[in-house]
Amino acid sequence: MSEVPNDIYTEPEDVDVDTLANLGPLTGLAGVWEGLRGIDVNPKPEGPRRQAFLEHIDLQPIDPQANGPQLLYGLRYHTHIMKPDEVETYHDQVGYWLWEPATEALIHTLTIPRGQAALATGKAARTATSFEVVARRGSTENGICSGCFLEQAFTTTEFRLKVTINRDGSWSYFEDTILIVKGQTEPFHHTDANTLTKIGEPEPNPLART
């Protein structure tokens, strides 16, 4: 919402409750997905390390969300990542993908169980097949919040995530997290990339089932 109206309380009327029909650029993400060729580049004392990973992402539609006059449609997601041939969790992440049809605003929230959360924003038209969201340290609208250890040892200054919906129905992403690593003079680009293939369809959101 680019400008806040004088009436910040009245919610929109005649809202279409079918989230799957109103996700715009997020439509191609709804469902259950797996990626078998992920690559993570992370910082180590001896230099960057490339790590292969396997990924499972569940993205399910939520009921339309209103902030007074603002109306958002979205997906709740859970990402679970492991190294090949291991059962231990390598990365776990939960959050939401949200889209505001009136302004074409995108919001991506993420929380990880190592004491970090972020809210990244961008814009995408209803029919867009590629889009990007960004979060930056210190911002009150699309910011990054870290626990004490990560804030001091691996300071995150920017998070950038680009998604591409592929013609074959799969989708790919490239994620770039810029870190200031304690003891290093140059920023480190911690990157992740994968292509996801659908293994399950999304379920309708609760209101759409009634």
Q: Would the pLDDT of 206 be above 80?
A: yes
Residue type, position 82, single letter = M
CB 7 within 8 A of CB 68: yes
CB 94 within 8 A of CB 82: no
User: Domains plus CATH for the chain?
Assistant: 19-200 (2.40.128.20)
Q: Would the pLDDT of 168 be above 90?
A: yes
Tens digit of each residue's pLDDT (9 = 90 or more) over 127-139: 999 999 999 999 9
Tens digit of each residue's pLDDT (9 = 90 or more) over 181-192: 999 999 999 999
Residue-level pLDDT at 1: 52
Q: How high does pLDDT run on average in the chain?
A: 97
Q: Would the pLDDT of 3 be above 90?
A: no
Give the CA diameter of the chain. 59
Q: How far is CA 93 from the centre of its chain?
A: 9
Mean pLDDT of 64-79: 98
Q: Would the pLDDT of 4 be above 90?
A: no
54 vs 28: CA distance, rounded Å = 20
Residue-level pLDDT at 10: 95
Tens digit of each residue's pLDDT (9 = 90 or more) over 143-152: 999 999 999 9
Q: Would the pLDDT of 5 be above 80?
A: yes
Q: Would the pLDDT of 203 be above 90?
A: yes
Q: Would the pLDDT of 9 be above 80?
A: yes
Q: Would the pLDDT of 32 be above 80?
A: yes
Residue-level pLDDT at 186: 95
- The tokens describing 123, both together, are 């814009």
Mean pLDDT of 157-174: 98
- Residue 59 banded pLDDT, cuts 50, 70, 90: very high
